[in-house]
Amino acid sequence: MGTYADIYNGWKTDPESFWMKAADAIDWVDKPTKAFFADQGVAGRWYADGSLNTCHNAVDRHVAAGRGEQTALIYDSPITGAKRSYTYAEVKTEVTALAAVLREQGVGKGDGVIIYMPMVPEAAFAMLACARIGAPHSVVFGGFAAAELATRIDDFEPKLIISASCGIEPARVVAYKPLLDGAIDLAEHKVESCVILQREKQTCDLISGRDVDYDHAVTMHRDLGTDVPCVTVKATDPLYILYTSGTTGQPKGVVRDNGGHAVALHWSMKAIYGVDPGEVYWAASDVGWVVGHSYIVYAPLLAGNTTILFEGKPVGTPDPGTFWRVMAEHKVASFFTAPTAFRAIKAQDSKGDWAQKYDLSALRTIYLAGERADPDTIHWLERVSGKPVIDHWWQTETGWTIAGNPVGIEQLPVKYGSPTVAMPGYDIRVLSDEGEDMPAGELGNVVVKLPLPPGSFPTLWKADQRFNDAYLAEFPGYYKTADAGIMDEDGYLFIMARTDDIINVAGHRLSTGGMEEVIAAHPDIAECAVIGIADEMKGQLPAGFAILNAGTDRPIPDIQKEVAALVREKIGPVAAFKILVPVARLPKTRSGKILRATMQKVVDGEEFKMPATIDDPAILEEIAASWKEHSGR
């Protein structure tokens, strides 16, 4: 392929040729005449006069090319004991039958479908069935509560929802149906029908006239052999909308188009992950997150790999060897997960004995992303696996790697703590708050020069202005990543922290502002601030500091329990909100801004500079004392 420097510089010199060449790997109905259309959309669009179908590219074309008998998807579920695999031809059959069901329910090109599913193969089939008929999907993570689902229903306005009777967590069965019904009741937008997968572990009642039984309906169309051709869509039509935490309780609907997405993801499989068609690739994430969209479902299938859909946890299902077992059993060549998963494994198997029990000879590389990969975890993982460990940095918004180590082009030397260098498509700069270039080695705002590459989001769903305000306005000509970082003299990037209120809890992206909105609604709470504190396993954990209403004399532990339950009910268990500390005052600047970053340093015992603008420095001592007394840490 050449060296990284050649390829990166080649892209920079002539991005148009670079992306037109990459587009050759995709089957188009109408081949685009050029790559970038600067005058379209808020900040330009990719391949705007092209048309294609993503499901065709991910499934049908491999069958047509004679790869129908290759395994496309392996479902490995240590939590239920189930294991199944599907060839490309079988995936085509399943997806087509489900597409027939959707069509029968009146879903057509441009109609929205929400997918609220656990980690079962039907979740992937659902995404592909939507893609097949040109219906944009929006997958909602199963760990979100009814209220979060309702917010997404109202923003996305789906015609139909595909869901399941339950999800299975190690300690409990999560009944999805009450959450789904609750969300539909809460939402103003009325959903016309639901397709429900009944799972053996716990079935549910279906609402007559609204709910369709997944198995029953799919079996009928499978038996009939109903043909549902892939519908041609414009390259710029939305393939999916994925909601991600913003700086308020209102999540942002990240839009992914069809054309740029297919091109970029296909390109990434060889260049970044170093895998060839036919090899097994595994991303241990969840289809509810961007990693699941890009690297459980779309990219490996676009590139003709075998993908693994794993329903389990890194530990406890049944032991900390489960990842190594799956890698060995299915001959995984390239593996991707969040650092927190390995921190959980390390906590139970510090010597790495479990890794030694399995034959990992097929495995070439391990990839980490989703949160900062701490050098300790990388060193440990290199030692126990004997494989290169590659950190790479990206976001829901971009859909694929911004900075990484492109193993399929050239494996660059690792600098621990750095996700390595900018990928072709991304011109990364580090700017001061005033928009000046920071010198090498100095901390600043990490931004990307516009345009963003194919695959990155062109806008937010029905919110061009919010897209502009949140991402483009602050540094004109650049995309603001909201990460702070450093670029060294070799072009290696170091991502240090978020510049907004997003925290990363066990690889899950959450908004502290969203939690504050929920907590402030508790009747005994006058004001509150939520910060992310350091946690050895999850990276960060949310911690709330609350000023109670004057005259509240209820026991603190009762209020703490109620607030934790409220966050769980309104946002979901995934928020992992457990710590609430009552305080008399919150530290603020003289203009009234809460000094959250300083609070975090006080609580984590880090060194900090007393902010010059603080209204009363004594408040920090009060915070530290209340923390000691009430946090339980």
Q: Residue 457 binds which entry of ligand AMP, ligand COA, none, with Cβ cut-offs from 5 to 8 Å by kind?
A: none
Place of tokens 């060897």: 321
Near ligand AMP in 481-520, by CB under 6 A = 481, 483, 495, 498, 504, 509
Residues that bind ligand COA (rule: CB under 6 A) add up to a total of 23
16: CB partners within 8 A, 6+ apart? 34, 35, 36
Residue 70: burial class (beta carbons within 10 Å; 0-12, 13-18, 19+): middle
Q: Under the criterion CB under 6 A, does residue 391 sit at the interface with ligand AMP?
A: yes
Q: Under the criterion CB under 6 A, does residue 393 sit at the interface with ligand AMP?
A: yes
SS3 81: coil
Q: Please tell me the distance from the alpha carbon of residue 74 to that of residue 119, in angstroms, as a whole number.
A: 12
SS3 139: strand
Q: Please tell me the distance from the alpha carbon of residue 148 to that of residue 186, in angstroms, as a whole number.
A: 10
Near ligand COA in 345-384, by CB under 6 A = 370
Task: Kindly write out the interface string for residues 269-298 of this chain, putting x where it contacts ligand AMP by CB under 6 A and - elsewhere.
Answer: ---------------------x--------
Q: Under the criterion CB under 6 A, does residue 390 sit at the interface with ligand AMP?
A: no
Among candidate residues 392, 427, 417, the one with its CA nearest the CA of residue 272: 392
Using only C-alpha atoms, the chain has a radius of gyration, in whole angstroms, of: 24
Strand partners, 390: 367
* Minimum distance, C-beta of residue 175 to ligand COA, in the bound complex (Å): 10
Q: Under the criterion CB under 6 A, does residue 319 sit at the interface with ligand COA?
A: no
Q: Please tell me the distance from the alpha carbon of residue 380 to that of residue 385, in angstroms, as a whole number.
A: 8
The correct pick among 93, 193, 317, 395 for binding ligand AMP (CB under 6 A) is 395
Q: Under the criterion CB under 6 A, does residue 339 sit at the interface with ligand COA?
A: no
Among candidate residues 267, 275, 338, the one with its CA nearest the CA of residue 307: 275
In angstroms, how far is the first alpha carbon of the chain from the final one? 51
Strand partners, 46: 36
* Minimum distance, C-beta of residue 307 to ligand COA, in the bound complex (Å): 15
Q: Residue 419 binds which entry of ligand COA, ligand AMP, none, with Cβ cut-offs from 5 to 8 Å by kind?
A: ligand AMP
Q: Under the criterion CB under 6 A, does residue 344 sit at the interface with ligand COA?
A: yes
Reported as half-sphere exposure (CB side, CA atoms, 13 A), residue 299 has a value of: 32
Q: Please tell me the distance from the alpha carbon of residue 633 to that of residue 624, in angstroms, as a whole number.
A: 12
Q: Residue 540 binds which entry of ligand AMP, ligand COA, none, with Cβ cut-offs from 5 to 8 Å by kind?
A: none
The correct pick among 506, 543, 599, 602 for binding ligand COA (CB under 6 A) is 506
Beta pairing class for 421-422 and 403-404: antiparallel
Q: Which is nearer to ligand COA, 169 or 604 (CB)?
A: 169
Q: Under the criterion CB under 6 A, does residue 338 sit at the interface with ligand COA?
A: yes
Judged by CB under 6 A, the stretch of 91-99, 407-415, 489-497, 572-580 that binds ligand COA is: 572-580
The correct pick among 32, 112, 136, 143 for binding ligand COA (CB under 6 A) is 143
Near ligand COA in 576-595, by CB under 6 A = 576
Specify the DSSP class assigned to residue 573: G
Q: Under the criterion CB under 6 A, does residue 515 sit at the interface with ligand COA?
A: no
* Minimum distance, C-beta of residue 9 to ligand COA, in the bound complex (Å): 30
* Minimum distance, C-beta of residue 342 to ligand COA, in the bound complex (Å): 9
Alpha-carbon torsion 296, 536, 401, 480, what sign? positive
Q: Which is nearer to ligand AMP, 55 or 242 (CB)?
A: 242
Q: Under the criterion CB under 6 A, does residue 270 sit at the interface with ligand COA?
A: no
Near ligand AMP in 219-258, by CB under 6 A = 244
The correct pick among 187, 528, 559, 574 for binding ligand COA (CB under 6 A) is 574
Specify the DSSP class assigned to residue 59: I
Q: Under the criterion CB under 6 A, does residue 314 sit at the interface with ligand COA?
A: yes
Judged by CB under 6 A, the stretch of 29-37, 91-99, 272-280, 309-317 that binds ligand COA is: 309-317
Q: Residue 573 binds which entry of ligand AMP, ligand COA, none, with Cβ cut-offs from 5 to 8 Å by kind?
A: ligand COA
Helix intervals (H) in 242-395: 259-271, 290-292, 299-302, 322-329, 339-348, 353-356, 375-385
Helix intervals (H) in 425-550: 464-467, 512-520
Strand partners, 361: none
Q: Residue 391 binds which entry of ligand AMP, ligand COA, none, with Cβ cut-offs from 5 to 8 Å by kind?
A: ligand AMP
Q: Under the criterion CB under 6 A, does residue 372 sit at the interface with ligand AMP?
A: yes
* Minimum distance, C-beta of residue 571 to ligand AMP, in the bound complex (Å): 15
Q: Residue 429 binds which entry of ligand COA, ligand AMP, none, with Cβ cut-offs from 5 to 8 Å by kind?
A: none
In the numeric block, which tokens belong to residue 169?
């967590």
Q: Please tell me the distance from the alpha carbon of residue 417 to that of residue 317, in angstroms, as a whole number.
A: 30
Residue 485 phi/psi, 5-degree rounding, is: -165, -175
Place of tokens 């992206």: 509
Strand partners, 194: 161, 211
Q: Under the criterion CB under 6 A, does residue 456 sit at the interface with ligand AMP?
A: no
Give the E-state strand segments of 566-622 in sequence order: 579-582
Q: Under the criterion CB under 6 A, does residue 507 sit at the interface with ligand COA?
A: yes
Q: Which is nearer to ligand COA, 22 or 166 (CB)?
A: 166
Residue ranges in contact with ligand AMP by CB under 6 A: 244, 290, 369-373, 391-393, 395-396, 419, 481, 483, 495, 498, 504, 509
